[in-house]
Amino acid sequence: MAAVLKIEDLHKSFKTGFLLRKKKILKGISLTVEEGEIFGYLGPNGAGKTTTLKCILGLLFPEKGKIRLFGLPHLSLRAKERIGFLPENPYFYEYLTASEFLHFYGELFFKRKKEIAVKVKELLHLVDLEPWADLPLRKFSRGMLQRIGFAQTLFNEPSLVLLDEPLGGLDPLGRKEMRDIIVRLKKEGKTVFLSSHILQDIEMICDRVAIIVNGQIINQGTLQDLVSEKILFTEIILSGLTAKELEDLGERSSFLGEKTLLKVFEEDKIEKIMNLVQERKGKIHSLIPRTQTLEDLFVGLVKKG
């Protein structure tokens, strides 16, 4: 499988403050994104995610390191014409309708109006905005603006799609719609480089991830490689037992009406709880073994960093 994006030992600093002292933002970033995968680039705010993306795009120039796209230097026009990019806070001409906005971008890629019209209709359908094609962008919600931004990102049929926090500020339905579009791109053979701090969504759709903290990648690989399958504790929701009866059996996390959420860290206590529930004629509503999540890994690494 060919490398679509390869970064080697990337360094970037900015001059800040009255004395213009250099502050290191990227401290030797190295990663490889393979063809046809969804690659998650994770990190807290200020870790260097957006700076990395801007270096890839040629909007910033690193002091040291190499970036190659499709085996070509990242500043070559042949490489850039195969990229689509959605920034974290895109700016749109809000007086334009969704259709007019896409036609405007279409003129950058096509000469014939018929080609543009076909592509605009196709993209509006992809992001589920056909019913709002003639609505001005100033009346769009945050989620709708993200989707129309996504549509313009795909106008040139890019092989590599770079997304900077595409799920930020969206409600659960909006995040699901964006995830579905990203997965659809992968099915079409496109490669997606996704910068985000929303771990639940990353865990659902990414093939591999890299975690950046303070300008350094501190872990990367497939989720199966990074996240342990060892059971950390068993989560039991039960009713019919008093707090005193459960005192030494686990950690009571919360009360849900008459139900109690109990975290049990010792396996031999699970059977004791089940026998006790049976004796007291109580009820076990759920019993779920919890393994390590990407969030557990991420929080642990950020604290160490």
pLDDT digits (tens, 9 = 90+) for 245-300: 777 787 776 666 678 887 888 878 888 888 888 888 888 888 877 765 666 666 66
Contact present, 43 and 197 (Cβ < 8 Å)? yes
pLDDT digits (tens, 9 = 90+) for 202-257: 778 889 999 888 888 988 888 777 665 566 778 888 888 777 777 778 777 666 66
Domains of the chain, by residue range, sit at 3-226, 231-304
How far from chain centre, in Å, is Cα 97? 28
Residues 6+ apart with CB under 8 A from 276: 241, 245, 249, 282
Task: Please name the amino acid found at residue 195.
Answer: S
* Fold assignment, 231-304: Alpha-Beta Plaits (3.30.70)
Structure tokens at 155: 């106008």
Q: Token pair 């997965």 is at which residue?
A: 183
Structure tokens at 166: 């595409």
> pTM (2 decimals)?
0.77
The SS3 assignment for 129 reads coil
Residues 6+ apart with CB under 8 A from 152: 101, 102, 105, 123
* pLDDT at residue 1, as a whole number: 57
The CB-side HSE value for 123 (13 A sphere, CA atoms) comes to: 26
The SS3 assignment for 224 reads helix
Residues in the chain: 305
> In the 8-state DSSP scheme, what is residue 288?
E
Nearest alpha carbon to residue 151 among 173, 178, 170, 174:
178
* Fold assignment, 3-226: Rossmann fold (3.40.50)
